[in-house]
Amino acid sequence: MPALPKTPLAEAKRIYWFESAYDAMAYYQLNQKWDKELRKGVFVSTGGAPSQQQFKAMIKATPHAYHHLCFDGDRAGQIFAINFALTHAGKTFTSNVTKDDKLLVRISGEENQNYEIKLEPFDFHRIIGTLLRPKEIYREDGTLDYRTIGDGYLQEMSMVCQDEYEIALAEGSASEETLEGMRQNIMAIEDAIRNLPAPGEDSTDLIVYEPAEKGYKDWNEQLLAKIRLQESVHEEPARREEPEQERQARFHR
């Protein structure tokens, strides 16, 4: 497994947050081929549940960096991501989840507001929009305006397209024309990410919510699943060749 980059904190443009070092290494292994900027990033393992003090210290040290929230995809990891966004926005708050799976947030100070939000189906951007930007991120028809959220969705699109391309390449199920189209699509998304405008004053522009793909609890689980898939793809041709080898052996006898 490749070693994680060692970028000085003061020079970091991207901070990647994980609950464990295994997830950090898995994320790096899955994405290093596609995202050359990873070598300029700082990978943070919180060793479990992160505290607001951890968040505050890193935010203070890297005020202009993008923060990729790669916590586990379970409820605890989702709450860690929400707490980070609130901390990054400078809010003084408390949060907890009720027995009926609702998020209770109390923001103190001048706002002094209480929120009760249903967590299922989970939508990080909509929840943060409710807590931080209840009006600005919605169109007149009530739908979410993705352009106001930053580069999070482009990052997610890039991940999905890259995984689909690798699977198609490994399985040999797609034509060269299809593969070329997939490569062009990936390049177009990466170009869009590179040409995003510099983040403004809105703190959510600096946050990318990036859990493992749906169906996986964390990045390490996703990596192991990919390895198993690749192994099964390579084993299948060998199994098909065995009967022919047996027939040849009987013929020679």
In contact, 68 and 44? CB cutoff 8 Å: no
What pLDDT, on a 0 to 100 scale, did the predictor assign at position 110? 67
β-bridge pairing 113-118 and 102-107: antiparallel
Domain boundaries, the chain: 9-150+202-220
Closest CA to 68 of 142, 144, 146, 124: 124
Other CB atoms within a 10 A radius of the CB of residue 217 amount to 14
Other CB atoms within a 10 A radius of the CB of residue 75 amount to 14
What pLDDT, on a 0 to 100 scale, did the predictor assign at position 159? 77
In contact, 28 and 4? CB cutoff 8 Å: yes
Chain Cα centroid distance, residue 144: 20
Length of the chain: 253
What pLDDT, on a 0 to 100 scale, did the predictor assign at position 132? 80
In contact, 79 and 120? CB cutoff 8 Å: no
Chain Cα centroid distance, residue 68: 7
Lowest mean pLDDT segment, chosen from 97-106, 195-204, 210-219: 195-204
pTM above 0.85, yes or no: no
Which tens digit of pLDDT belongs to each residue from 36-48? 888 888 999 999 8
Confidence of residue 193 (pLDDT cuts 50, 70, 90): low
Has residue 157 got a pLDDT over 80? no
Confidence of residue 100 (pLDDT cuts 50, 70, 90): very high
